[in-house]
């Protein structure tokens, strides 16, 4: 028997005894880039919650979904077990205090998440909701950046990521925790889950494994089978299970996986067809007549003349370059890559680059990715690298011009899906964006249909006026039309 504090691990049977408990279990919220992209929000700093030691279980134990609930979610994770006391340690020395690495499944019951209001006591603290094992790897023989985590649901691989792609390195998590509390030998740190965590039903089997491919070491598969519990919750004692579509979406990982309809877009097929026929000059005029004077994205032009672009805004914000911030936010699956990797058809990526022309804000690879996902276009008030190649891609791109420099010269990709400024205009996610050779216009969704109809009507009127001028009509009388010409126009159009 090997004793780690009061955590008992049998090296012969490879089993972890839950009779001897660690002092505490600390779990990290969102810590992988892929999970942040899946959730649509990226934390700037780590955040944590406690799980009771009574939630510990071993491989092969059943996980109970209480009667009357529906959203029991699994989260495969790398578990770190502290070997020596850690208090006020640095990231450089943090790994010295970790003794064991193993697989964990951070089970949670989303039906009770709303009642917990962030504490996770009831939804993640139930008996059996923290299985660990089956084998434990010596942390000192492994690199914290080179661990792989995989999860299978009923034999299908659903999670596959590495610690290299974490927002917060494992050493940072230990160092950060140690500046607030002392980590004792035997304490368990659950380090967060990557994309792919989802819901399991009674009868499902979920397996989690951590390995170090370079060293050929693995924990083996931590297996849990879901069973249906008997009885419900006594309403006289506390909160009852409750779910809504937001909880379903987050538990399953997406609206599609949860079987939920996609939210209606402000850009209907009918409105899109109208806007494809409407020049931005006409839209700008109609918006101005309604009191909107700051709805053009100034200074941008299409990389390919003749481009027409219609879609809804998906926003991305760059902040001015700073070395320390680029180090934490510029690498890996950063905000820029997440946006281009998740843009949907009929969406236009709109980038706030502060009008900074001294750097590229996208290049050919990202443009290709957006095109492959069916994006409607890209607008940036910064530069574009690989300009001629981007211009050849079947994707409307509007920019202030070409620049060969990489992103890190002037920018840090910071955050997404928020209100931004681009080319002097305010853009919110879901705003309707229209671009052509005259420039780019932002349409507030509530006005879009009205403005499009009015602009098309005005286009028809202007075409009629132009024809009369060609025939010798007076600009003074026709532009704008006087009462006589107006009556003639309405008579002709009314008869069509």
Binding residue positions: 363-366, 385-386
Axis crossing angle, helix 269-277 with helix 445-470, rounded to the nearest 10: 30
Angle of CA points 375, 379, 382, to nearest 5°: 135
Axis crossing angle, helix 445-470 with helix 483-494, rounded to the nearest 10: 100
Beta bridge partners of 28: 48
> How far is 210 from 145, CA to CA, in rounded Å?
13
Beta bridge partners of 3: 8
The helix/strand/coil state of 47 is: coil
Half-sphere exposure of 418 (CA within 13 A, CB side): 12
Q: Which of 336, 48, 318, 13 is nearest to 183 (CA)?
A: 48
Q: Which of 286, 2, 263, 15 is nearest to 133 (CA)?
A: 15
DSSP 70-94: --EEE-EEEEEEE-S-BSS--HHHH
Beta bridge partners of 397: 378
Instruction: Quickly list H helices, 181-256.
Output: 245-252
Q: Would you say 414 and 317 are in contact if contact means Cβ atoms under 8 Å apart?
A: yes
- Residue 450: count other Cβ atoms within 10 Å of its Cβ: 12
| Known binding-site residue numbers for Mg(2+) | 386
| Known binding-site residue numbers for substrate | 363-366, 385
The dihedral of CA 215, 7, 63, 134: what is its sign?
Answer: positive
Q: Would you say 212 and 103 are in contact if contact means Cβ atoms under 8 Å apart?
A: no
The helix/strand/coil state of 352 is: strand
């Amino acid at each position: 028997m090997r004793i780690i504090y009061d955590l008992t691990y049998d090296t012969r049977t490879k089993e972890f005894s839950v009779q001897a408990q660690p002092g505490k279990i600390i779990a990290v919220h969102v810590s992988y880039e892929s999970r942040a992209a899946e959730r649509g929000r990226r934390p700037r700093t780590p955040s944590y919650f406690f799980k009771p030691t009574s939630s510990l279980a071993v491989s092969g134990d059943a996980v109970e979904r209480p009667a009357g609930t529906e959203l029991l979610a699994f989260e495969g994770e790398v578990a770190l077990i502290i070997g020596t006391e850690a208090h006020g340690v640095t990231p450089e020395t943090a790994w010295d205090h970790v003794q064991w690495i193993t697989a964990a499944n951070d089970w949670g019951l989303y039906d009770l998440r709303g009642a917990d209001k962030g504490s996770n006591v009831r939804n993640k603290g139930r008996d059996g909701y923290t299985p660990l094992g089956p084998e434990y790897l010596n942390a000192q023989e492994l690199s914290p950046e080179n661990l792989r985590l995989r999860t299978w649901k009923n034999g299908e691989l659903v999670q596959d990521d590495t610690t290299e792609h974490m927002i917060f390195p494992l050493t940072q998590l230990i160092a950060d925790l140690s500046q607030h509390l002392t980590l004792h030998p035997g304490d368990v740190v659950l380090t967060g889950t990557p994309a792919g965590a989802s819901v399991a039903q009674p009868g499902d089997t979920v397996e989690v494994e951590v390995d170090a491919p370079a060293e050929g070491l693995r924990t083996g598969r931590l297996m849990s089978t879901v069973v249906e519990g008997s009885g419900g919750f006594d309403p006289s004692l506390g909160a009852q299970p409750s779910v809504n579509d937001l909880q379903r979406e987050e538990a399953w990982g997406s609206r599609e996986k949860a079987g939920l309809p996609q939210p209606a877009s402000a850009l209907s097929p009918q409105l899109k067809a109208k806007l494809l026929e409407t020049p931005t000059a006409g839209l700008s005029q109609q918006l101005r007549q309604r009191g909107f004077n700051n709805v053009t994205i100034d200074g941008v032009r299409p990389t390919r003349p003749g481009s027409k672009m219609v879609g809804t805004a998906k926003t991305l914000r760059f902040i001015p370059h700073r070395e320390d911030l680029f180090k934490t936010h510029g690498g890996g699956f950063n905000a820029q890559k997440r946006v281009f990797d998740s843009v949907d058809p009929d969406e236009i990526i709109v980038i706030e680059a502060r009008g900074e022309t001294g750097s590229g804000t996208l290049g050919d690879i990202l443009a290709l990715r957006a095109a492959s996902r069916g994006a409607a276009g890209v607008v940036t008030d910064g530069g574009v690298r690989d300009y001629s190649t981007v211009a050849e891609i079947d994707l409307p791109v509007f920019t202030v011009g070409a620049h060969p420099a990489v992103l890190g010269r002037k920018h840090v990709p910071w955050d997404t899906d928020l209100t931004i400024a681009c080319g002097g205009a305010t853009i919110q996610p879901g705003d309707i964006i229209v671009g052509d050779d005259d420039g780019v216009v932002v349409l507030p969704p509530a006005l879009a249909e009205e403005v499009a109809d009015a602009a098309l009507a005005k286009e028809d009127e202007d075409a009629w006026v132009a024809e009369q001028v060609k025939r010798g009509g007076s600009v003074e009388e026709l532009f704008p039309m006087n009462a006589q010409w107006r009556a003639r126009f309405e008579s002709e159009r009314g008869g069509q």
